[in-house]
Amino acid sequence: MTKFVKGRSGNPKGKPPGSGELQKLRASIAGDVPGILVGLVNAAKAGDVQAARLILDRVLPPLKAAEATQPMSLPDSTLTEQGRAVLASVASGELAVGQGAQLLGAIAGLARVVEIDNLETRVAQLEKQHGHP
């Protein structure tokens, strides 16, 4: 026999919904909200910068920087040369800074993978030379 039944509360007479402190606060000021909004708008119109900022932050949140994706071909050479090509593209304005940072991060990740592959190959060769499995 299971202790808990799916879909049934373990405490059916527990705290009723809407009885938390935040819900009580919202209910207590609900009737005053229209007046508060009118006061904020009037204050903003009268030049209160903080009131204007409060309204605008709630109605028009700040935009996040959007970077257009820009295709880029990397040189078929060393990872160092590829990193330099990315930096040069960022420096010349051909590539957005955020996109350049992402590409450099990807190149760094690839460098770690290449390093691990090289180490595995070297260990396998050493084990073969010394007769270890």
Looking at residue 133, its pLDDT comes to: 64
Packing angle between helix 33-45 and helix 49-59, nearest 10 degrees? 120
Q: Is residue 50 part of a domain?
A: yes
Q: Is residue 65 part of a domain?
A: no
Q: Is residue 72 part of a domain?
A: no
Q: Is residue 25 part of a domain?
A: yes
Comparing 112 with 130, the larger pLDDT belongs to 112
| Distance (Å, whole) CA 85 – CA 107 | 11
Mean pLDDT on 30-48: 93
What percent of the chain has a predicted confidence (pLDDT) above 70?
Answer: 92
Same domain assignment for residues 84 and 125: yes
**Which residue segment(s) compose the domain that 40 sits in?**
21-59
Same domain assignment for residues 83 and 125: yes
Q: Is residue 10 part of a domain?
A: no
Q: Is residue 73 part of a domain?
A: no
Give the amino acid at 131. Answer: G
How many helices and strands (H and E) does the chain possess? Answer: 5, 0
Alpha-carbon distance values, 108 to 14, 91, 102, 128 (Å): 54, 19, 10, 30
Whole-model pTM: value is 0.47
